[in-house]
Amino acid sequence: MEDFRAIGRRLSNWGRWDNGDERDERGTTNLLTAERIVAAAGCISTGKVFDLGIPFGADGPQPGGGRINPVLLMSETGGDQEHFPGAFHYADYVFMPLQSASQWDGLAHVYYDDHLYNGFPASAVGPHGAKHCAIDAQAKGVTGRGVLIDVARYRGVDWLEMGDVITPDDLDGALARQGMRVQPGDIVAVRTGWRRKFLTDSDAAGFMAGEPGLGLACCEWLSAHEVAAVCSDNWAIEVLPGEVDGELLPVHMVLIRDMGMTLGEILDFEELSEDCAADGRYDFFCCAPPIKFRRAVGSPINPLAIK
């Protein structure tokens, strides 16, 4: 297998969207042009809305350790608030890792060889956050035409198994079966069925132990199709255990660090998948803006598909 660094050099988008001395920090979401967003609105014909996000709660997929499920901390419950005049009382708030459930990986989330996307130094990420390529660079949202590639349905299974590598042939085969084509600037949603497995088993440790997902060869496919962003119903986009001995998350390193592609993880395509299979339409208007956490390397999302 070709070294991931060589793949990254070949597919690199460093400098592609720079504007004079202003270095790009958005990456492939630059492909979400005004014209493509207008065209994507044509996907809306019935007004059906599909929630692609999983619930943010204590029963989520995080088994603990590096990331935990959201913790609801009611710093105020409305009690002992007699100092307010009249009937008013209030309550808040929640504590959580920014990437514990449905979320975007920002372009400062992953690096190798001491550089982030577009050549920014890894030292730009410190205890106070990312000075470059933070998630708020995507503030105008990941919005455009979405295409579901239902690999699990194409394979004829409820879900792919842990370690099952999705290849470009799988992506092409599923699209052909669906009668769909991916266009430049599309947001690609890859269904592995891994979310269905979690809903069936309720096993967070099993969900996070590994996963089916994209293989390294899919980086070339995503680049050739000029995909704006890719998301999946697993927790790391790519297959785990991975294909490269001694390297963790090489697909992340190529897509984020070299190509500048924002990744969406832990989404739920189950309701959308059933509807697409029923009406034969696998494209939709996708609206999935991040929350503008300054200097953060990722953000929770409530992604919507509208048909």
Question: What does the pLDDT look like over 40-52, one tens digit per residue?
Answer: 999 999 999 999 9
With cut-offs at 50, 70 and 90, classify the pLDDT of residue 200.
Answer: very high
Q: How far apart are CA 280 and CA 178, in angstroms?
A: 7
pTM over 0.85: yes
Can you give the three-state secondary structure of 108-175, one letter per residue?
A: CCCCECCECHHHCEHHHEECCEECCCCHHHHCCCCEEEEEEEEHHHHHCCCCCCCCCEECHHHHHHHH
Amino acid 92: pLDDT: 67
Q: Is residue 119 part of a domain?
A: yes
Lowest mean pLDDT among 37-51, 67-81, 250-264: 67-81
Q: How far apart are CA 240 and CA 246, in angstroms?
A: 13
Q: Is residue 183 part of a domain?
A: yes
Q: Is residue 78 part of a domain?
A: no
With cut-offs at 50, 70 and 90, classify the pLDDT of residue 98.
Answer: confident
Q: Is residue 185 part of a domain?
A: yes
Q: Is residue 154 part of a domain?
A: yes
Amino acid 89: pLDDT: 65
CATH number at residue 192: 3.50.30.50
Q: Is residue 130 part of a domain?
A: yes
Per the structure, how many domains does the chain have? 1
What mean pLDDT do residues 156-173 have? 98
What mean pLDDT do residues 31-57 have? 97
Amino acid 64: pLDDT: 83
Q: Is residue 92 part of a domain?
A: no
Torsion 153-155-161-162 (CA) sign: negative
Q: Which domain holds residue 251?
A: 4-63+98-306
Q: How much is the mean pLDDT over the chain?
A: 94
With cut-offs at 50, 70 and 90, classify the pLDDT of residue 88.
Answer: confident
pLDDT at 93 over 80: no
Q: Is residue 142 part of a domain?
A: yes
